[in-house]
Structure 1
Amino acid sequence: MVKYHADEGKTVLLPYRGSVHGTISDILGGVRSTCTYVGAAKLKELTKRTTFIRVQEQENNVFGKE
């Protein structure tokens, strides 16, 4: 089995916006909300209560086209 690796893509420079604490809190809030929607009391249960779909290609035009 292939080990997980981060996706590669376009590199952009963003202005400093402070600590990542707020961003991490937002992500964790989204994960908690997802667990609530699917009835998972623990993160381990998430895979048993959902169907994950692998996405092969994704287009993000936030920073313009390549």
Structure 2
Amino acid sequence: MKAVLSSPSFPGHATLIGSDVQALDDTRPEAQWTWEVIGDRPGEYSFSLVVSTVGDDGKTVVCC
């Protein structure tokens, strides 16, 4: 699985803590991602989180 968090209009930064790609198998059926999000100014902002299934190489998006 691969996760990407984004917000083009967010004035600050969101830093992924750990790897964006996490392997799942019988011994690890769940994934967890953590970001440190620090804004430069107060306000309400929207973020998009995209989680994709990827191939064994960690790059190829697996579809359907």
Question: Same fold, TM exceeding 0.5?
Answer: no
TM-score, scaled relative to structure 2: 0.24
Say which one has the larger Rg: 1
TM-score by length of 1: 0.24
Q: Which has the larger strand fraction?
A: 2
Structure with higher RCO (Cα < 8 A, 6+ apart): 2
Structure with greater helix share of residues:
1
